[in-house]
Chain A
Amino acid sequence: MSRSVLKLTAANVAKDLRLEWRSRDVFNSMLFFAVLVVVIFSFSFEPTSEESRRIAGGLFWVAFLFSAVVALNQSWARELRNGVLDAYRVSPSPAESLFLGKCLGNFIFVAALECLMVPLFVVFYNLTSAGPVWQLLIVFLLGTWALVVIGTFFAAMSIRTRNRELMLPLLLLPLSIPAVVNMVKATSNVLTADSSPVPQIKFLAVYCLVFTTVCFVLFETVLNAE
């Protein structure tokens, strides 16, 4: 990657962060949505500490998946106003830097959300980890990246369709099932310390690698689809 691509990527990320910092509309709605999901789940299950260790992995990722959809939809919808996306398409800057910038920006949003949500989960579900916590960090980094990369790609795709906001979950949810299954499995493995999460972490690493590559290769086609 040349210097100019990195520079443009940094400019894209900085722009996204600045816009978000000034309006905070995506982050606030995402956070409130995730809190609601957590509260509703804890109403409907009322788990004990032992049980919650087993189910927390699933709840975690379902909450993040749904709130990530909120953020991803907004991230491209913002570019439609004033024809920004068309301006990108005619500008000489490479499409990859736009995509990478969007991915990094969304990654930062979702990661920040996770940092705020984890304490909430711990409080509501009396959660304590039986396994080493640093492994969770790896699972969260890889899992979030996997969701964000394919999510950003599909959001760029669904923004071109008639029913924009509705299309993204329809595309993202079936495709992310293999990744989500592994995130959930890895998270519960660490929390319960029943078995090693290493196979799932390896799976997620390969998944991230393959889909990051594919999305990068195909993004320009999607952006310029006519």
Chain B
Amino acid sequence: MKSKLYPFFVGLVFVLLTYGTYQGLVKAPTEETMGEAQRIFYYHVPAAIAAYTLFFLNFVSSIIYLWKRSVAADSFALATAEVGVVFATATLALGMIWARYAWGHWWAWDMRLTTFLILWLLYLSYLILRRSAEAGSGSVLAAALAIVVFLDVPFNYMANRWFVGNHPQPVTLEAPEMKIALMANMIAFMAFAALIVWFRYELERALRTIAAIYADRAARGMLAMALPAMFLFQIQPRHNPTNYVYAAYIVAWVIYIGYLLLLTRKVARLKREEEELRRSS
């Protein structure tokens, strides 16, 4: 948080996200079959890819932790898993809103949906283990779990392969503006994910420094799970795709900002503790 690069990076991410959202909502042409609802795609796919990347980084840093036992690798593993779960949550929420429009129901036991849901559950169990492990052994146990969980992912794909697929295949976008919109959002969300991970990582290190002083106050991971908005749409008889696009974009931001607010609360608590510590010493 102290780094000079940090405000610069925040500004860059803000510009990228604004540009990506503008491209997705305004610049990209409306698709023929799905209409406006296709614009959800520009938020859905980058969030999914960011989640996969973060889970992969979690796997790598867990191996490094078991090998070198460096605190940095462990903090990084926690940060990537937690932020990955947030992005996976956003992916699921966006997908569900799109499905409500395109298929008429929120959920289908389709291969990709099932696999992604299980992936989400797996990393939730990782975070739960981190929260409830006894101080000291938690990092090692979590690293071992991260390796097993990551190896479960290919089996997951194989096990669910006979579910009839409703999920659209990886589409080739025809219009060049669509490609630009997707690429812009892809870069923006990758940078956004990197920024939150950085933030979370620094926070974790700070928490650990304080935890080292207050030996009994262990760090706690928090989760953002906000899906109440979907019930508002349940009763609407006529479907306007534009509403779905706005709903999806808003829900995505509710999830991201909700998570950031949780982190801010954590920072505030941290500052209070620091104050107390300074006063007592």
Binding site for B on A (CB under 8 A): 150, 153, 157-158, 160-163, 167, 170-171, 174-175, 177-179, 181-182, 185, 203, 207, 210-211, 214-215, 218, 221-222, 225-226
Instruction: Report whether A177 and B129 are in contact in the complex, using a CB–CB cutoff of 8 Å.
Output: no
Instruction: Report whether A225 and B141 are in contact in the complex, using a CB–CB cutoff of 8 Å.
Output: yes
Instruction: Report whether B144 and A221 are in contact in the complex, using a CB–CB cutoff of 8 Å.
Output: yes
Compute how far the CA of A19 lies from the CA of B121 in the bound complex, rounded to whole angstroms.
36
Question: What is the number of residues of chain B that contact chain A, defined by CB distance less than 8 Å?
Answer: 30
Q: 6 A–B contact pairs at CB < 8 A?
A: A161-B129, A171-B145, A177-B159, A203-B158, A207-B155, A211-B148
Compute how far the CA of A225 lies from the CA of B145 in the bound complex, rounded to whole angstroms.
12
Selected from B138, B148, B159, the residue in CB contact (under 8 A) with A218 is B148
Selected from B134, B143, B155, B160, the residue in CB contact (under 8 A) with A161 is B134
Compute how far the CA of A150 lies from the CA of B149 in the bound complex, rounded to whole angstroms.
11
- Whether, in the assembled complex, B234 has its beta carbon less than 8 Å from a beta carbon of chain A, the answer is no
Contact residues in B for A162 (Cβ distance below 8 Å): 132-134
- B13 to nearest A CB, angstroms? 32
Binding site for A on B (CB under 8 A): 66, 118, 121-122, 124-125, 128-129, 132-134, 136-138, 140-141, 143-145, 147-149, 151-152, 155-156, 158-160, 162
Contact residues in B for A167 (Cβ distance below 8 Å): 128-129, 132
Instruction: Report whether A153 and B148 are in contact in the complex, using a CB–CB cutoff of 8 Å.
Output: yes
For the complex with contacts A161-B129, A225-B136, 13 further pairs of A-B residues with Cβ separation under 8 Å are A150-B148, A157-B145, A160-B133, A160-B141, A162-B132, A163-B132, A167-B128, A174-B121, A174-B125, A179-B155, A181-B159, A210-B151, A210-B155
Compute how far the CA of A144 lies from the CA of B93 in the bound complex, rounded to whole angstroms.
36
Given A161-B132, A162-B134, A163-B132; A175-B144 close (CB under 8 Å): no
Instruction: Report whether A222 and B160 are in contact in the complex, using a CB–CB cutoff of 8 Å.
Output: no
Instruction: Report whether A225 and B140 are in contact in the complex, using a CB–CB cutoff of 8 Å.
Output: yes
- A151 to nearest B CB, angstroms? 12
Instruction: Report whether B155 and A171 are in contact in the complex, using a CB–CB cutoff of 8 Å.
Output: no
Majority-rule SS of A interface residues: helix
Compute how far the CA of A203 lies from the CA of B152 in the bound complex, rounded to whole angstroms.
13
Given A177-B118, A177-B156, A177-B159; A222-B125 close (CB under 8 Å): no
Compute how far the CA of A221 lies from the CA of B141 in the bound complex, rounded to whole angstroms.
8
Compute how far the CA of A54 lies from the CA of B118 in the bound complex, rounded to whole angstroms.
24
- B136 to nearest A CB, angstroms? 5
Q: Which 3 A-B pairs have the closest CB atoms?
A: A178-B159, A225-B140, A225-B137
Instruction: Report whether B136 and A226 are in contact in the complex, using a CB–CB cutoff of 8 Å.
Output: yes
- B112 to nearest A CB, angstroms? 15
Contact residues in B for A218 (Cβ distance below 8 Å): 144, 147-148
Contact residues in A for B124 (Cβ distance below 8 Å): 174
Compute how far the CA of A158 lies from the CA of B44 in the bound complex, rounded to whole angstroms.
35
Instruction: Report whether A221 and B140 are in contact in the complex, using a CB–CB cutoff of 8 Å.
Output: yes
Compute how far the CA of A153 lies from the CA of B148 in the bound complex, rounded to whole angstroms.
10
Question: Which single residue of chain B is at the shortest CB-CB distance from A176?
Answer: B152
- A39 to nearest B CB, angstroms? 28
Contact residues in B for A207 (Cβ distance below 8 Å): 155
Contact residues in B for A171 (Cβ distance below 8 Å): 125, 129, 145
Instruction: Report whether A170 and B133 are in contact in the complex, using a CB–CB cutoff of 8 Å.
Output: no
Compute how far the CA of A158 lies from the CA of B133 in the bound complex, rounded to whole angstroms.
8
Given A181-B159, A225-B141; A174-B122 close (CB under 8 Å): yes
Instruction: Report whether A157 and B144 are in contact in the complex, using a CB–CB cutoff of 8 Å.
Output: yes
Question: Which single residue of chain B is at the shortest CB-CB distance from A156?
Answer: B141
Contact residues in B for A211 (Cβ distance below 8 Å): 148, 151
Contact residues in A for B129 (Cβ distance below 8 Å): 157-158, 161, 167, 170-171
Compute how far the CA of A185 lies from the CA of B162 in the bound complex, rounded to whole angstroms.
11
Instruction: Report whether B118 and A174 are in contact in the complex, using a CB–CB cutoff of 8 Å.
Output: yes
Compute how far the CA of A182 lies from the CA of B162 in the bound complex, rounded to whole angstroms.
11
Instruction: Report whether A178 and B148 are in contact in the complex, using a CB–CB cutoff of 8 Å.
Output: no
- A130 to nearest B CB, angstroms? 20
Question: Which single residue of chain B is at the shortest CB-CB distance from A160?
Answer: B137
Compute how far the CA of A177 lies from the CA of B116 in the bound complex, rounded to whole angstroms.
12
Instruction: Report whether A214 and B151 are in contact in the complex, using a CB–CB cutoff of 8 Å.
Output: yes
- A137 to nearest B CB, angstroms? 22
Question: Which single residue of chain A is at the shortest CB-CB distance from B148?
Answer: A214
Compute how far the CA of A215 lies from the CA of B144 in the bound complex, rounded to whole angstroms.
9
Compute how far the CA of A214 lies from the CA of B155 in the bound complex, rounded to whole angstroms.
14
- B145 to nearest A CB, angstroms? 7
- A63 to nearest B CB, angstroms? 20
